[in-house]
Amino acid sequence: MTASAQTRDEAGAPRRPLFSSERRRDWLTACAGGLVAAAGAGAAYLPWISPRVHAQRRAQPARRTGSRLPDVPLLTHDGRQVRFYSDLVRGRLVFISMMYTQCSERCPPMTQALRGVQEALGDRVGRDVFMYSISLLPEYDRPADLQAYRELHRVGPGWTFLTGAKKDVEQVRYALGFYDPDPEIDADLGQHTGMVRIGNDALDRWCMTFILSEPHLILEAFMGVDPVSRAAGASWARPMQS
């Protein structure tokens, strides 16, 4: 599942991934405490940047994260053609993960964990929070396959499953950081990343956390990018201790 072929833009220049693997640990640390805070209007706090460099960047014109996400065409589970950034992400609060319908070990529990998130957020999902799962095997997963997977796992509204041309999905995967720098590991579907990307495109706040954790921990990460939940003092039930 290597993304090496997708690391150049249309002009042939090297493409810089939006979330490089080297920065993944920093994003995880920020998410774990729910502390991804704005460092100025519409800017995300980047914990690996020194104060001097951060001050220099504040003095420069802002480069929005969303503008670096590919706006490639994709197909939804109900057969609609959409553009990844302009139709699905722009201005929205999003959860983005990757899966494939024939995955029998890791994907079902990850889907169930995200179902817990969906249930906890209630009617916000599909209204002001949107969930997306993108197939790692788009050459095999047709919209009908994704629809069947949704029905099997009793996924509710507001959570869209996506497929498309392999090259387009790979652009999205690489831009979001769902890859491993080791080509052999990256090509092994059995080791595909069990992460969810959480973003607030309107404020340009993004983080990543583990899917295979309790839903309340994923929601704590979500609070780091969603000032509405934080301002409202939102909290979610923890599992009962035995």
Numbered residues of the known binding site for Cu cation:
103, 107
Pairing state between β 81-83 and 205-210: unpaired
Rg of the chain in Å (alpha carbons)? 17
The two tokens of residue 72 are 């490639």
Annotated binding site: 103, 107
Residue 12: left (phi > 0), alpha (psi -120 to 50), or beta? left
Cα-based angle 162, 70, 143 (whole degrees, multiple of 5): 15
φ, ψ of residue 159 to 5 degrees: the values are: -120, 110
The two tokens of residue 122 are 């209630």
